[in-house]
Structure 1
Amino acid sequence: MTRIAIYARYSTDLQSQSSIEDQIRLCEERAKANGGEIEQSYTDHAVSGASLMRPGIQMLMQDAAAGKFDVLYAEALDRISRDQEDIAAVYKRLSFAGIAIITLSEGEISQLHIGLKGTMNALFLKDLADKTRRGLRGRVEKGLSGGGKCYGYDVVPGEERGQRTINDVEAAVVRRIFEDYGAGKSPKAIAAALNKEGILSPSGKGWGQSTINGNRQRGTGILNNELYIGRLVWNRLRYLKDPQTGKRVSKMNPEDDWIIQEVPDLRIVSEELWEKAKSRQAGLNSKPKLWQTNRPRNIFAYLIKCGVCGGGCSTVSKGRIGCSNARNKATCDNKQTIPRVELEETVLGSLRDHLMNEELCEVFCEEYARHMGELTKRHNASLYQYEAELQKLQREKKKVVQSILDGVSAEFLKDDAARIEKRMGHLEKLLDGKIERPSIFEPGIAARYKREVKRLIESLNSSEHREEASELIRSMIEAIVLTPSVERGMPIIDLVGDLAGILSVASGRDKPALTVGLSEFNPDGCEALVAGVGFEPTTFRL
């Protein structure tokens, strides 16, 4: 029997879950009536059809490539996708896999449906966006909310949507933030104090510096929200979906397109507090950003993670790395830090020490000799092949000349003669100056191996090659996890990624637990190394 797959989707949380069930039920009835057997149903819940970044459709495409079904049923073509490019790509890939698409609305899908319906669905999306924007603009011009929640306010239910009222508890927090910032407190200190007192943030996940600071130009963040002074600004930003990732990306609109409405009844912050905050922000703008030009770049920036909360680690004090959440948000109790230089030396020192292992060097030499032997064989085999082909063409050339002498018209042999002459010239150039390579082994290869490993490490300290070498090292690291250790008084370092696999192999691929000296900063300390070869991701403890 024909193997059937069904795809169903609904767009927003406002739609009913039963929409999926209804789509599947109708498709099952049609498929069974046509004599098919249902193999699998794929669904996406509350996901827009403007992007293919959906788990259900991605699994469908994967199973289609594996040949797990013969026909795909859907309620309508716009359930699969509303984007012209995406629906064409789906149709192309399913057609290549020999899978037909049948919808309850259009029947069996052809190239004509893809062109016409794809255009209509794209126009529908644009028309829907225009109508939504027009409706929101009318609401904003009445002083109502244009969408989205705002900290400090509650939505008032009623006949006309978008009405808001001040939330006294949250408004007090907003005023406190402006007062503290105006008094000279940093956003980090303000966020840490709010988290320590257990005050919920707008996201409910804890206050952070960016929640307070935001972006002044884009009007984001507590300190830049003009609604707190009774000024509603709408259409400052527009949101587009990145066709590569499917994620929404915000972009600034020209200032002439902004819609500004005065709403004095929603003012929370006094003009004096607002101006004090703006004055301090302006003062910060005038200061030279020395940290952008003079601060040394951390080799492992954005790769270091906290082993307690899973958040990122950064420079929390002079030259020391620690948990950012513990310092900035006070939502993590991991207060242990490690000198940045020591962290780098531990990781890179392990790379240097283990790759200098004599046994590993011997393996490299063997593999190098084998590889060079293969290249030599290929080189010599190519020379033999070129010489044999050249001799064959010389014989063919003699036959052409003899045929002309025997009375065959040169017109009939012109193409063959040109081909032979051209190929012979090419082969002669290839063979010119080429000699057969002897199969020999480099006597200094072991020293060369050690020299190259040492050069790799040294290049990380060279201003000329540091950036390039750092990127190579970073490409092999997924994460560096710092877990606090009371016994050691400093964090335990877990290295995750391809580099961890290399170090594990270098240390002893068959050993479940190994030991190694940490670094020149801690020559007496040793830690158990967990060899993670064969596991994803590979983990190596330093």
Structure 2
Amino acid sequence: MRAAIYARYSTDLQSDASIEDQHRLCLRLIDGNGWQEAETYSDRGLSGASHLRPGYQRLLEDARRNVFDVVVAEGLDRISRDQEHIAAFFKQIRFQGIPIVTVAEGEISELHIGLKGTMSSLFLKDLAQKTHRGLEGRVRKGKSAGGITYGCDVVRDMGADGFTTTGERRINESQAQIVQRIFQDYSHGLSPRNIAAHLNDEGIPGPRGTWGASTIYGNQQRGTGILNNELYFGRLVWNRQRFVKDPNSGKRQAQANPPEEWVIEDVPDLRIVPDDLWNAVKTRQEKTRNAAISDGIKKLGLTKRARHLFSGLLTCGCCGGGVIQVGKQYYGCSAHKNKGTCGNRLTIMRTDLEDRVLYGLKEQLLHPDLIAEFTIAYQEEYNRLAGSIQQERSKTERDLAKLESKIANLINAISDGVFHPSMKEKLTELEARKVEFEGIINSVSDEPPVLLHPGLSDVYREQVANLTTALRDPSSQAKATSIIRSCLSEIRLIPDDGKYAIKLVGELAGLLALGASQNEQSRPGAACSRLCSTALVAGAGFGLCRTIVVLRKFK
């Protein structure tokens, strides 16, 4: 009789030496029956719940080819723990006329298949419940339930009991900076695809080697992806989903759990992204989803991101229609190009438009009145913060005086012979609070705050002068573009003597009101009005640029 040995171990139950141990027991059974060892089939570190095991499949294939006459194993659960699979294995092997003999049960019959198959299935279910219970207990302590999160390192320390700790994590500073950069870039308008491309171009390794759009955006409902991982917000969310094995393919499929089954714990020590940045990303994600789906129909084009600085903001001053690219580098009226309903034939080069707008912005932003307003706003905010700090110090000094009075009273009472054990605990508590108050007071300087740095206005001028450079720099382009586009709602191109007059509409126009002349600011009604738009009209070059202030009653 040619005997085939099958051995298997599962990583969460046994060690690698288990294969050799099983082989030794099976060989002893073979020798006792006078059989001859044919071949050993083994699967290392694979669960018995799956039939997609190389050694197991090779055993079935060789059984069909009559390579052996009997199958020997330590126990029936080594062959499989799935009730359906063990029954199918028994049918196929018996169809070939090959008996199954184990060290634990002897020769296998239909009775063994029914009983052992049921017991193995119950064992797997019980094991899954105990594992889930243990992981939940670990999560409720703020520890990891398994897996590696980008931005955090797994900590392996020796505990007081001599065992290695599990579930501990700490922030990886270098990866945390990349996480913050991803959140900032997305909040400034970059798409996940562009963010991934920039990271790959710079050679920054991702969680799985290279970066992809799905790695960054992920799935919001499942909480996957960098932008959806609440651990970066200091919140550990576990049990969002469960895995169920597909009976046809044998592969695990994720199924969402209801929110009431989620386990949520605060882990502030693992927080990477601040509140404002997290909320900005969530707001943009919500806007993107709302724009993408309406009444079950996808709004094509609404989620398309602007390729250039002012794309999507340009309108024709004649017909009110959109201004689009009519060539690789030129803008023109869409109604004239596509419908012929507008008589505006003028075109303008994209770089010329951007330079003219930015030049006008710089000229207005460098107006002395605007610099003065910036200086005043900075002074007011700085004074407010400095005043609140001084107020906090004064309050702390008053609290410290009351605390020292209580301490003195307790000491006098003890000196007079009045003592109770609770007085010692109270005195220790008061002394600790005294040290805390003294530390707060010492951390606040007695010197009056500097209300304004002498070179602050120069810094402002330098930043405004470098506006064009910042918009051309890839490292700051996303942020600068996002800020400018958020301040403009419309850019009107108005034909004026064969050239375009450019009128800006939006909040930025209100900012430019500070650059208006004193005469205009002192006009009747100017105190209750605000700037609606600013028109930049260029003649022969930027030297003829002038500003037209359009005032509207404040409502």
For normalisation by structure 1, the TM-score amounts to: 0.52
- The Cα shift of 1:14 comes to 7.4
Partner of 1:132: 131
Residues 308-319 of structure 1 aligned to structure 2 (within 5 Å): none
- Residue 241 of structure 2 is aligned with which of 237, 243, 256? 237
Superposition pairs of residues 48-447 of structure 1, within 5 angstroms: 48-158=47-157, 159=159, 160-204=165-209, 206-288=210-292
Distance between the aligned counterparts of 1:208 and 1:251, measured in 2?
Answer: 24
Considering only aligned residues, what root-mean-square deviation do their CA atoms show, in Å?
2.0
Alpha carbons 1:152, 1:167 under 8 Å: kept:
yes
- The residue type equivalent to 1:35 in the other structure is G
CA distance in 2, matches of 1:245, 1:132: 24
Shift of 1:75: 1.0
CA contact (8 A) 2:5 2:23 kept: yes
Greater Cα radius of gyration, structure 1 or 2? 2
> Partner of 1:302 in structure 2?
none
Q: Hey, what's the Cα distance between the residues in 2 that align with 1:31 and 1:235?
A: 47
CA distance in 2, matches of 1:18, 1:157: 25
Distance in 2 separating the partners of 1:69 and 1:21: 21
Structure 1 residues 274, 293: CA separation in 2 closer, same or farther (over 3 Å shift)?
Answer: closer
In structure 2, C-alpha distance between the alignment counterparts of 1:35 and 1:221, rounded to whole Å: 60
Residue type of the alignment partner of 1:268: I
> For residue 97 of structure 1, what is the amino acid of its counterpart?
Q
Tell me by how many angstroms 1:20 deviates: 1.2
The amino acid across from 2:128 in the alignment is A
The Cα of 1:294 is off from its aligned counterpart by: 9.9
Q: Look up the SS of the partner of 1:191 in the other structure.
A: helix
Equivalent AA in structure 2 for residue 258 of structure 1: W
1:246 is paired with a residue of what secondary structure? Answer: coil
State how far apart, in whole Å, the 2-side matches of 1:189 and 1:293 are. 22
Q: Point out 4+ residue stretches in structure 1 off by more than 6 angstroms.
A: 290-295
Alignment partners' CA distance in 2, 1:272 and 1:193: 24
Residues 195 and 79 (structure 1 numbering): CA distance in 2 closer, same or farther, change over 3 Å?
Answer: same
Q: CA deviation at 1:293?
A: 7.0
- Structure 1 residues 224 and 56, CA gap change in structure 2 (3 angstroms): same
Equivalent residue number for residue 356 of structure 1: none
Q: 2:8·2:46 contact (CA, 8 Å) conserved in 1?
A: yes
Query: Aligned with 1:274: secondary structure?
Result: helix
Give the counterpart letter for 1:278 in structure 2.
K
Amino acid at match of 1:110: S
Give distance in 1, aligned partners of 2:206 and 2:292: 31
Alignment check: 8 A CA contact 1:214 1:220 kept: yes
Offset at residue 234 of structure 1 (A): 0.7
Aligned-partner residue type, residue 94 of structure 2: S
Shift of 1:283: 1.1
The answer on whether the counterparts of 1:144 and 1:162 sit within 8 Å (CA) in structure 2 is yes
1:287 partner SS: helix
Q: Identify unmatched segments of 5+ residues in structure 2.
A: 160-164, 301-306, 308-555
Q: Cα distance, 1:13 vs. partner?
A: 7.1
Letter in 2 for 1:59: R
Deviations 1:473-503 (A, max 9, x none): xxxxxxxxxxxxxxxxxxxxxxxxxxxxxxx
1:43-67 Cα distance to aligned partner (Å, 9 max, x none): 1111110010111111111111222
How far apart, CA to CA, are the structure 1 residues paired with 2:292 and 2:237?
A: 31
- The 1:164–1:293 alpha-carbon spacing in structure 2 relative to 1, beyond 3 Å, is closer
Residue 93 of structure 2 aligns with an amino acid whose one-letter code is L
Deviations 1:330-358 (A, max 9, x none): xxxxxxxxxxxxxxxxxxxxxxxxxxxxx
Report if aligned partners of 1:53, 1:245 keep a CA contact under 8 Å in 2.
no
Instruction: Note the alpha carbon deviations across 1:399-450, whole angstroms, 9 max, x for none.
Output: xxxxxxxxxxxxxxxxxxxxxxxxxxxxxxxxxxxxxxxxxxxxxxxxxxxx
Counterpart amino acid of 1:249? Answer: Q
CA 1:294–1:228 in 2, change beyond 3 Å: closer, same or farther? closer
The aligned counterpart of 1:400 is none
Per the TM alignment, residue 222 of structure 1 is displaced from its structure 2 partner at its CA by: 0.3
Alpha-carbon deviation of 1:116? 0.7
**Contact 2:292/2:299 (8 A) holds in 1:** no
| Distance in 2 between residues matched to 1:33 and 1:220, nearest whole Å | 56
Q: Give the Cα–Cα distance (whole angstroms) in 1 for the partners of residues 292 and 212 of structure 2.
A: 24
CA distance in 2, matches of 1:146, 1:292: 39
- Name 1:26's counterpart in structure 2: 25
Deviations 1:178-217 (A, max 9, x none): 011111111111111111222111122x111110010011
Equivalent residue number for residue 497 of structure 1: none
In structure 1, C-alpha distance between the alignment counterparts of 2:198 and 2:12, rounded to whole Å: 36
Which letter maps to 1:191?
Answer: A
Tell me what 1:510 maps to. none
Q: Is the 8 A contact 1:51 1:243 kept in 2?
A: no
Partner of 2:7: 8
Displacement after TM superposition at 1:32 (Å): 2.1
Count, aligned residues: 294
Question: Per the alignment, do residues 207 and 40 of structure 1 end up closer, same or farther by CA in structure 2, a change over 3 Å counting?
Answer: same
Q: TM-score, normalised by structure 2?
A: 0.51
Paired residues of 1:218 and 1:236 also in contact (CA < 8 A): yes
With over 3 angstroms needed to count, the CA separation of the structure-2 counterparts of 1:227 and 1:288, relative to structure 1, is closer
Question: What displacement does 1:37 show?
Answer: 1.3
My pick for the range that moved more, 249-258 or 150-159, is 150-159
CA distance in 2, matches of 1:13, 1:222: 30
Rounded Cα–Cα distance in structure 2 between residues aligned with 1:277 and 1:188: 16
Q: 1:138 to 1:294 in 2, by over 3 A?
A: closer
Offset from partner CA, 1:24-48 (integer Å, 9 cap, x none): 2221221122111111111111111
Write the letter of the residue equivalent to 1:232. Answer: L
Match of 1:309 in 2: none
Taking the aligned partners of 1:236 and 1:263, their CA distance within structure 2 comes to: 17
**How big is each residue's C-alpha offset from its partner over 1:351-382, in whole Å with a ceiling of 9 and x where there is no partner?**
xxxxxxxxxxxxxxxxxxxxxxxxxxxxxxxx
